[in-house]
Amino acid sequence: MGLLLLLHVLLVAVVARAPATEAWGKEGHYMTCKIAENFLTEEASTAVKDLLPGWAGGDLAETCSWADTQRFRYKWSSPLHFADSEGGCKFDYARDCHNRQGETNMCVVGAINNYTAALKDSSSPCEQQSHHSFLDPSRSSLTRCTANQPTTTLLSAVDPTESLMFLAHFVGDVHQPLHCGNADDLGGNTIIVHWYRRKSNLHHVWDVNVIETAMKDFYNNDMGTMIKAIQLNITEEWSNEEKQWETCRTRTKTCADKYADESAKLACKAYEGVEQDSTLEDDYFFSALPVVQKRIAQGGVRLAAILNKIFSGNRRLQSS
Ligand SMILES: [Zn+2]
């Protein structure tokens, strides 16, 4: 009896300490990456496959939740999953992109820019390399080119496989509106709601519940069917917009700040009419689902665009 009680106490303690969700659920990330695969150039697809770890079986989508499993191993990576803002339905990089200690660039937008730069560096000919700061101070590194050596790595280089897996995950995250929600309520994590009859929180509703309910009600619990439906929307309903989603005119960074700003605006709507202990049902579901599907589509298309840009015209990666 004593042991059972102890086990119960331990279990309650573990559950109580479980960290707030910090990502689309597995499904959201998987779908984002599956959609991205359809938009990769052959060259980028080959380069991506070369970088994937063996356990991925050659499938990028299999790795797209990896970053969530690393939040304890790489504690510094925890704030990189989101960019909560101080309000105003707006994401402001200078104001909002920092961790709790106030270090700048430590948010999902900074992470996307830095991992894009890291992947470019690891896949570019030496003379095109740029020096940039990496996110993890303990692993910070500079790469240096010398006349006859392709690359000399000072300190430890950022592992390109990990860079790819972080990048693919974070491009998904920045498209989840509540990842750019209010800092006050941790992106909706502290707003306890009922999703139909089940207890949840607003962040989790957007990460997981809307997708789960859609899968059950419309897609026979089959993710492949839901992915196909989103893919079909891209080529039909959203075909006029799709090119604009990809457009990113900056040469030095990604357009992740723009994606975060879009999410901040959508988050504002997601908060409307929701209070502590609200019950969210059909009305909320039917207004949230189209947003979730479109954000997954945009995340996929843009992830592919970023990877295509990184790996286009890249011979070195393929020959190494
Ligand atoms: Zn995440």
Rounded distance from Cα 170 to ligand 1 centre (Å): 6
Residue 7 lies inside a defined structural domain of this protein: no
Give the distance (Å) from ligand 1 centre to CA of residue 127. 33
User: How many Å lie between the centroid of ligand 1 and the Cα of residue 169?
Assistant: 6
Q: Examine residue 16 and state whether it is found in any structural domain, yes or no.
A: no
The answer as to whether 250 is a domain residue is: yes
**From the CA of 237, how far away is ligand 1's center (Å)?**
28
- Asked if the structure places residue 15 within a domain, the reply is no
Give the pLDDT of residue 22: 52
Query: Does residue 13 form part of some domain?
Result: no
pLDDT value of position 101: 93
Q: How far is the CA of 252 from the centre of ligand 1 (A)?
A: 24
Structural domain count of the chain: 1
Residues 6+ apart with CB under 8 A from 159: none
pLDDT of residue 125: 55
Dist. CA 79 → ligand 1 center (Å): 9
How far, in Å, from the CA of 81 to the mean position of ligand 1?
Answer: 4
**Ligand 1 center to 70 CA (angstroms):** 10
Domain coverage including residue 280: 25-319
Q: Is residue 300 part of a domain?
A: yes
Question: How far does the centroid of ligand 1 lie from the alpha carbon of residue 319, in Å?
Answer: 32
Residue 313 alpha carbon to ligand 1 centre in Å: 30
Give the distance (Å) from ligand 1 centre to CA of residue 307. 19
pLDDT at 158: 81
Q: How far is CA 135 from CA 98, 178, 228, 261, 298, in A?
A: 11, 23, 35, 22, 25
Q: How far, in Å, is the centroid of ligand 1 from the Cα of 67?
A: 6
**What pLDDT sits at residue 134?**
46
Instruction: Identify the CATH number of the domain in which residue 84 sits.
Output: 1.10.575.10
Per residue of the chain (320 residues), what is the pLDDT tens digit? 344 444 444 443 333 333 444 568 899 999 999 999 999 999 999 999 999 999 999 999 999 999 999 998 999 999 999 999 987 899 999 999 999 999 999 999 999 999 999 999 887 654 334 434 445 444 444 343 433 333 333 323 589 999 999 999 999 999 999 999 999 999 999 999 999 999 999 999 999 999 999 999 999 999 999 999 999 999 999 999 999 999 998 877 899 999 999 999 999 999 999 999 999 999 999 999 999 999 999 999 999 999 999 998 644 333 33
Q: Is residue 148 part of a domain?
A: yes
Q: 23 CA to middle of ligand 1, Å? A: 3
